[in-house]
Amino acid sequence: MQLIYFAWVKERIGKSEEVLHLPDHVGTVAELLDYLSGINEIYAHALSNRAMLRVAVNQTHVGLDHAVKDTDEIAIFPPVTGG
């Protein structure tokens, strides 16, 4: 899967994107965030406040229960406001 990070998520993780193989036990956005948070303390800190994260799968905003698969492009970013 292609993971893309934006704004302060990118800054905290230290990279804008990466390619990872989706483990068999990960089937939803919530499970993906749990898996990523378990990689190390950097990911855990960046992804700790789920209320401050938004996720898009294949360029469509989705909820935590949305299914993910290894061929998806997944973007993780903070809420966007305009003015």
Give the domains, in start order, of the chain with CATH numbers: 2-77 (3.10.20.30)
- What is the mean predicted confidence (pLDDT) over 19-47? 96
**CA 32, 54, 71 angle in degrees (round to 5)?**
45
Measured on CA atoms in the order 22, 41, 13, 75, is the torsion positive or negative?
A: positive
CA-to-CA distance for 77 and 12, rounded, in angstroms? 11
The closest alpha carbon to 32, from 60, 53, 59, belongs to: 53
pLDDT tens readout for residues 59-69? 999 999 999 99
Q: What tokens appear for 66 in the block? A: 């949305």
Q: What percent of the chain has pLDDT over 90?
A: 94
